[in-house]
Amino acid sequence: MRFGINTFLFTSPFTTRSTGLLPKFKKWGFDTIEIPVEDPSHINPERVKAALDRNDLVCGSVCACMSPDRDLRGTAQQQKTGLAYMKALIDQMVILDCPSLIGPVYSAVGRADAVPAKEYAAQWKTVVKNLKTLSKYAEDRGRTICLEPLNRFETDFINTCDQGLKMIKDVDSKALKLHLDTFHMNIEEKNQAKAIKKAGKLLGHFHACGSDRGTPGNDHIDWKPIVAALKSIRYKGDVVIESFTTDVKVIAKAAAIWRRMEPTRDEIAVKGLKFLKKNIK
């Protein structure tokens, strides 16, 4: 099991120049970094990979940033744009030697329409079709896609582990797995540990986030059964801290971070990693 940090805590967008953050992440004790690639043109994957190698780090995951024009249940153009964007990310992942594309790969973040059941069913079929295409593209390149349920304020489409597993079943590709996040589960799941156990071997990626998007461990989440559940399914993937602060203005607005959760963002990373290593390893 490896411990990682999502770079949104420190910068947006992540560019090739952002690799200047890597020595700090390594010094703190992280094994991997998670890069939200907001646009493929923002990074030179060869140079990013070289910087990772110099710092003895790996890119454990690339996070898909699903803007309104990238939507696998949207208009024909939005679907086309979304697929092209994520295929480009997968191509970059091959160069980065990154195994997993993660996040809400099915729809634009912030789209919460509460559509009638008939329309929802039609959207579901559209997403299944598009994820079949994307999963085949990933499988042919030895990559995995990890689909993340989001809370009700960020999507009306896939909120729970059960919904995520149903999508995975309908797509029926060995390249498609589940990505669970303690922040979203804290809102949507009756029991986080049970959701993790239900995901089982299909759990491909895990975000360890505080209940308020702050430091894991400095919050009200009951971490003991979560850790026990991860151990019970023999989870061996990355455990990544994905927290946001008011320091990165564009992400703070997108994630509705209106106040400072912790004294500094460095503390979120350092204290969060210390907590996770102590309680999971």
- pLDDT tens digits, residue range 133-174? 999 999 999 999 999 999 999 999 999 999 999 999 999 999
Q: 154 an active-site residue?
A: no
Whether pLDDT at 281 is above 80: no
Q: What is the pLDDT of residue 86?
A: 99
Average pLDDT value for residue range 81-98: 98
List domains and CATH numbers for the chain. Answer: 2-280 (3.20.20.150)
Label residue 103 by pLDDT band (50, 70, 90): very high
Whether pLDDT at 198 is above 90: yes
State which amino acid sits at residue 157: F
Q: Which of 34, 148, 154, 189 is catalytic?
A: 148
Label residue 196 by pLDDT band (50, 70, 90): very high
Q: What is the pLDDT of residue 259?
A: 78
Q: Which of 38, 154, 242, 262 is catalytic?
A: 242
Instruction: Kindly state the percentage of the chain with pLDDT values over 90.
Output: 90
Label residue 260 by pLDDT band (50, 70, 90): confident
Q: Does residue 133 come out as left (phi exceeding 0), alpha (psi in the -120 to 50 range) or beta?
A: alpha
Contact of 47 with 19, CB cutoff 8 Å: yes
Q: What is the pLDDT of residue 154?
A: 95
Contact of 138 with 101, CB cutoff 8 Å: yes
Query: Is the full-model pTM beyond 0.85?
Result: yes
Whether pLDDT at 52 is above 90: yes
Whether pLDDT at 254 is above 90: no
Whether pLDDT at 221 is above 80: yes
Q: What is the pLDDT of residue 255?
A: 76
Q: 242 an active-site residue?
A: yes
Residues 261 and 128: their CA atoms lie apart, in Å, by 37
